[in-house]
């Protein structure tokens, strides 16, 4: 134990004083347990055994993909990529239960007890671990019908004269679009009569001719390829965002989370690449 006999003796005496009874009968030649000492020892053995069992049970959960996995994702990626991935994941790991939350608003990982969040944003929160999937180009687009009757649109500032379709987050009061206009970054307080907390709703409104929408390029690639939507202001592109998977900590990450993160990363990259290929991009 690398502890001297005198230190052991002192610690036993301190324990006896704390308990208010003798644990050992001491003579000049030997020591033996008192009845109280025997009872205390047996109880301690039981406690240590319970602690060991608790540790092994937790280690078992971490060592295999079992338990509940809570995943949050944006609506489009969640429905088209993450949701189809879950049955494949459970075919391999049937003991894992899944909870999927789809929202285009930011989800508080801690408050909502989320294990993994698929997020597309300018990543700034260093309190979480990020598995980067891709750097995502965004575009401004509208339907040909809207543009036929709309005011001129030649520079970023012209957006102030247009109906912009806006993604609303909890607490949103003003909407601002940040664009790279040549060598400058311009932030505009855009406005419009329509806003929603669902990106797919905004896409449909754009198709219906209600205004200009800002979207990740891969999301609208099929519509641009079919000319149902048209990119506007290509020289004033929205600032790119990072698409990635966020989770609270890299340390002691359960195996079920590690497995799903790897599967989701591969599936999302493949989906984004397939969509961009429709425009001849990868």
Residues 211-233: tens digit of each pLDDT: 999 999 999 999 999 999 999 99
Where exactly does CATH 1.10.10.10 map onto the chain? Answer: 5-62
What pLDDT does residue 263 have? 94
Please report the sign of the dihedral spanned by the C-alpha atoms of residue 103, residue 104, residue 106, residue 109.
positive
In terms of CATH architecture, what is 138-239?
3-Layer(aba) Sandwich (3.40)
Banded pLDDT at 282 (limits 50, 70, 90): low
Token match 């003991």: residue? 95
Most confident by average pLDDT, 102-116, 132-146, 165-179, 250-264: 132-146
Residue 173 predicted with pLDDT over 70: no
Q: How far apart are CA 171 and CA 5, in angstroms?
A: 66
Q: How many residues would you count in the chain?
A: 282
Please name the residues in contact with 89: beta carbons below 8 A apart, sequence gap of 6 or more: 96, 98, 259, 260, 263
Where exactly does CATH 3.40.190.10 map onto the chain? Answer: 64-136+242-277
Where exactly does CATH 3.40.190.290 map onto the chain? Answer: 138-239
In terms of CATH architecture, what is 64-136+242-277?
3-Layer(aba) Sandwich (3.40)
What pLDDT does residue 24 have? 85
Residues 176-186: tens digit of each pLDDT: 898 987 778 88
Taking the domain 5-62, which CATH number applies?
Answer: 1.10.10.10
Residues 94-113: tens digit of each pLDDT: 888 899 999 988 888 888 88
Residue 3 predicted with pLDDT over 90: no
Residue 63 predicted with pLDDT over 60: no
Query: What string of DSSP letters covers 151-198?
Result: PP--SGGGGGGS-EEEE--TT-----EEEEETTEEEEE----S-EES-
**By the 8 A CB rule, do 229 and 212 touch?**
no
Structure tokens at 26: 């001491």
Token match 């339907």: residue? 143
Residue 62 predicted with pLDDT over 60: no
Distance of CA 246 to the CA centre of its chain: 3
């Amino acid at each position: 134990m690398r502890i001297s006999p005198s230190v052991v003796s002192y610690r036993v005496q301190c324990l006896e004083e704390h308990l208010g009874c003798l644990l050992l009968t001491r003579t000049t030649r030997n020591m033996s347990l008192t009845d109280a000492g025997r009872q205390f020892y047996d109880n301690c053995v039981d406690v240590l055994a319970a602690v060991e069992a608790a540790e092994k049970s937790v280690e078992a959960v971490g060592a295999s993909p079992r338990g509940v996995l809570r995943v949050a994702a944006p609506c489009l990626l969640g429905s088209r990529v993450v949701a189809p991935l879950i049955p494949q994941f459970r075919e391999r790991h049937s003991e894992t239960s899944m909870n999927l939350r789809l929202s285009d608003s930011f989800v508080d990982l801690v408050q909502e007890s989320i294990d993994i969040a698929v997020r597309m944003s300018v990543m700034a929160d260093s309190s979480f671990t990020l598995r980067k999937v891709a750097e995502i180009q965004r575009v401004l687009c509208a339907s040909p019908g809207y543009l036929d009757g709309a005011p001129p649109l030649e520079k970023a500032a012209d957006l102030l004269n247009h109906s912009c379709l806006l993604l609303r987050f909890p607490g949103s009061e003003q909407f601002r679009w940040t664009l790279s206009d040549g060598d400058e970054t311009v932030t505009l307080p855009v406005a419009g009569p329509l806003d929603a907390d669902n990106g797919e709703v905004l896409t449909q409104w754009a198709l219906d001719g209600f205004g200009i929408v800002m979207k990740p390029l891969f999301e609208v690639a099929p519509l641009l390829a079919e000319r149902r939507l048209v990119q506007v202001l290509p020289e004033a592109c929205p600032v790119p965002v990072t698409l990635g998977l966020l989770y609270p900590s890299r340390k002691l990450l359960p195996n079920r989370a590690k497995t799903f993160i790897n599967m989701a990363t591969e599936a999302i990259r493949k989906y984004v690449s397939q969509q961009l290929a429709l425009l001849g991009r990868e």
